[in-house]
Structure 1
Amino acid sequence: MKVVILGSGVIGVTSAWYLAQSGHDVTVIDRQSGPALETSFANAGEISPGYASPWAAPGIPMKALRWLFMKHAPLILRPQVDGAMLRWIGAMLGNCNARSYAINKSRMVRLAEFSRDRLIDLRQETGIAYDERSQGTLQLFREQKQMDGVAKDVAVLKADGVPFELLDAAGCMAAEPGLAQSDVPIVGGLRLPNDETGDCFKFTNALADMCKTRGIRFLNGTSIQRLTVEGGRIASVVTDAGVMQADAFIVALGSYSPLLLAPLGIRLPVYPVKGYSITVPIVEEMRAPVSTLLDESYKVAITRLGDRIRVGGMAELSGYSKGLPQARRDTLEYSVSSLFPGAGDVGKASFWSGLRPMTPDSTPVIGPTAIPNLFINSGHGTLGWTMACGSGHVIADIVSGRQPAIESADLAISRYH
């Protein structure tokens, strides 16, 4: 079967890999000059299935109000006349209850754990290298109330059989020795020993190269204009380079997916939530992190990537803006410098922003649509890297008419209807 994938981020490229493994003729189209040049380019680098948690949770509305007035705020809201933003916020607030949180987290952990296992398989099969490490993730609590509030996450981890460790301050420093140089308060942490790290950009490009050796075509630098419908099915995709027909089409355009689908009458509840990162060269090895640390106070992830430290986080609702305010960089620099002082040269750090495609329930949309040969693999939010291989595997099974290895019906867009 001829399959066209729209989007060459980590989700589009992993989808291409698994579809080709299933015997399909695959073409990937993207307006960027190469793979992984948008949201997949400089993300936080963590592969953390156990930390796959919905943003919509009990207590979040009150926390969000406080965050808006913090100096180093994890949440930034740029009010504007935007119906999509208002609908998304309303739907997200509707998920801020205990029942929805438990359902959504269970879905997310199911997919993320499956994805981590598929990544391990892929690494063993191909030898792909991407500055990977398998030394766990530490969620660090600076305040006792953060430590006290971890019970709901621990309950889900236990129910899903995910290994974890609750650590005191000394235990945190044993897991991340560089914290011994910090002078900020450390109450404790939640560590997931099976989590991994790696450079998503390096991985996606290495996998794209492997895809090409297996006959997958990449039409980069090609703008996607619209999908055409004939006889109730997608007949073709119209691009600035011409029209391409196929048997099946997969939309993997991240935050831009809703814009392509809307003219077809498909309302995909995905909104761009802007995140920021800095990439810091390491100057003092012994002071640097060994894996990923999540700074719970500022919602910032600090990840070791070879001889670099990737510091990423924050959530900004500002439409499709990609500006780089100094205040956002200041927050990232403060987080890494307060916890790992002297580890890297923040003055030489590169600064980046990307648009995370967020759904109001934080669960991605993977599966069929009302149009028989049109499929979606989008809406992964902050967890595209964590969920990529699993999502690609699931969509390949669905397109191929096979039963996916994990429950997937509740991942489809139909759950919103």
Structure 2
Amino acid sequence: MLEKVHKNHAFQRSVRMCHVVVIGSGITGVTSAYELAQLGYQVTVIDKHLFPAMETSFANGGQLSACNAEVWNQKSTVLKGIKWMSRKDAPLLLNPSFDLHKYAWLMEFLGNIKHYQSNTHETVRLALLARERLFSIAEQEGIDFNLEKKGILHFYHTEQDYAVATSVNNMLCDGGLERYAVTPEEMKSIEPTLTGEYYGGFYCPGDATGDIHKFTTGLAKATEKYGVKYLFGMEVVDVQHHSKGVTIQYRASMENMQGGAAAFEELQADAVVVCGGVGSYELANKLGDRVNVYPVKGYSITVQLDDERSIKGAPWVSLLDESAKIVTSRLGENRFRVAGTAEFNGYNRDIRSDRIQPLIDWVNKNFDISTEHSVPWAGLRPMMPNMMPVVRRGKRERVFYNTGHGHLGWTLSAATAVMISQEVASHHPV
């Protein structure tokens, strides 16, 4: 069971330990490494960057949000994307240029509309389990990541939006979530910095916020005491599967090259777990699997609260403005994270000023905060067409996947890490 607390048997065995290689050191990779180490596996993590959590796990919205478990598989989502194509500041932006992967993904997305309710319920279940496990890990390992257990407040500006949200709320609560309606007056008592006019809202008291980068780097450091090794600045070139194990071929990445061509190196293991984010699509193809991850770009700003007025004016309760599709998180006394938008534009990682400006404008409109010092960021969410993470064994006996978490990697990873570690254990016991 997911609630089971793992015991580390790493030093209780005199025989050779089963060696598992994890590809990727974002939130899913590091949590997977942690859970595998707790079960007694020898674990090596490979990442092309020089440090953990340098891509999608670097500066997301910060919400540990079971209340955002609703999957996006509705016709209205695609219709909004088409409607907003001409608006550069639209919450959802779909680049219409032809790309076979993108349009095949969209067709598969539409094909999963029939699973909208069941997938939402399953996501709620995973999110609640993940929330409990993450809190437990953070306490056990002493990780400081600006955790705030103040809940998440969604607010709505119109009666129409609120009516739609009410039906969604009923579905989320049917899935086991504690979330209830609040009046505009109650909203302002929950978060006194709110100054706008609202029709109504919903509050999820059990949800939380935290700095995903600080948690991931802190957990990576903690895993080292359980014997986890990291190969940073190394890019996986190939994975060869054979009867007695896997051979991972890698070389220095562009970040790690000192000039000239990098030599190939090899690493032997009993199994491999792919936690490669948007890179999982290509890796899976090499391994004979179809993991239809598509990159959906999101943007954030981190507002530095440098003066007393801004420190007092920034909310501590996490917010979601449903009309703007913008979320907020307070990361300690001096940082305020604001994130939003979904952009279907391939593997483009450019930070566009016309996508950042709406976030800054939203802060200026809603709070008495100076946005003079705001750090922009963009990351690619690894999203599956059914909006569900891929947590399973591949076609080959020694290949496993924990990837495709989309916009809920921070929310779900603590659960899926336990699931994939148990899946590995069922096929390749320590």
Residue 385 of structure 2 is aligned with which of 330, 345, 360?
360
Task: Give TM-score, length-normalised by structure 2.
Answer: 0.88
Q: Which moved more, 1:63-72 or 1:288-297?
A: 63-72
Per-residue CA shift, 1:330-357, capped at 9, x if unaligned? 11112222222x22x3221111110000
Match of 2:289 in 1: 266
Deviation at 1:58, TM superposition (A): 4.9
Deviation at 1:326, TM superposition (A): 1.0
CA contact (8 A) 1:275 1:316 kept: yes
Q: How does 1:136-285 map to 2 (within 5 A)?
A: 136-180=151-195, 182=196, 185-231=197-243, 235-240=246-251, 242-282=265-305, 283=307, 284-285=310-311
Deviation at 1:277, TM superposition (A): 0.6
Deviation at 1:123, TM superposition (A): 2.3
Matched, 1:131 2:154: no
**3-state SS of 2:372 partner:** helix
Q: Aligned partners of 1:53 and 1:159: how far apart in 2?
A: 12
Summarize the Cα distance change of 1:126–1:246 in structure 2 as closer, same or farther, 3 Å threshold.
Answer: same
Match of 1:329 in 2: 356
**3-state SS of 1:223 partner:** strand
Match of 2:23 in 1: 6
Q: Which moved more, 1:285-294 or 1:378-387?
A: 285-294
Q: How does 1:77-88 map to 2 (within 5 A)?
A: 77-88=94-105
Amino acid at match of 1:268: V
Matched, 1:398 2:410: no
Q: CA RMSD in A?
A: 1.5
Amino acid at match of 2:408: L
**3-state SS of 2:338 partner:** strand
Q: Aligned partners of 1:142 and 1:337: how far apart in 2?
A: 18
CA contact (8 A) 1:7 1:251 kept: yes
Deviation at 1:234, TM superposition (A): 5.8
Match of 1:66 in 2: 83
**3-state SS of 1:208 partner:** helix
Amino acid at match of 2:282: L
Structure 1 alignment gaps of length 5 or more: 403-417
Matched, 1:100 2:111: no
Q: Aligned partners of 2:151 and 2:178: how far apart in 1?
A: 10
Per-residue CA shift, 1:97-133, capped at 9, x if unaligned? xx42101101211111110010121123222110110
Summarize the Cα distance change of 1:82–1:61 in structure 2 as closer, same or farther, 3 Å threshold.
Answer: closer
CA contact (8 A) 2:288 2:395 kept: no
Deviation at 1:69, TM superposition (A): 3.9
Task: Give TM-score, length-normalised by structure 1.
Answer: 0.91
**3-state SS of 1:347 partner:** coil
Q: Aligned partners of 1:68 and 1:139: how far apart in 2?
A: 26
Summarize the Cα distance change of 1:363–1:136 in structure 2 as closer, same or farther, 3 Å threshold.
Answer: same
**3-state SS of 2:227 partner:** coil
**3-state SS of 1:400 partner:** helix
Structure 2 alignment gaps of length 5 or more: 1-17, 252-263
Q: Aligned partners of 1:94 and 1:59: how far apart in 2?
A: 14
Q: Aligned partners of 2:81 and 2:384: how far apart in 1?
A: 17
Q: Aligned partners of 2:364 and 2:238: how far apart in 1?
A: 46
Q: Aligned partners of 2:156 and 2:88: how far apart in 1?
A: 19
Q: Aligned partners of 2:157 and 2:120: how far apart in 1?
A: 24
CA contact (8 A) 1:144 1:187 kept: yes
Match of 1:311 in 2: 338
Residue 295 of structure 1 is aligned with which of 316, 321, 342?
321
Summarize the Cα distance change of 1:35–1:177 in structure 2 as closer, same or farther, 3 Å threshold.
Answer: same
Q: Aligned partners of 2:178 and 2:417: how far apart in 1?
A: 25
**3-state SS of 1:333 partner:** helix
Q: Aligned partners of 1:209 and 1:43: how far apart in 2?
A: 21
Match of 2:254 in 1: none
Q: Which moved more, 1:55-64 or 1:85-94?
A: 55-64
Q: Which moved more, 1:69-78 or 1:263-272?
A: 69-78
Amino acid at match of 2:159: Q
Q: Aligned partners of 2:403 and 2:245: how far apart in 1?
A: 18
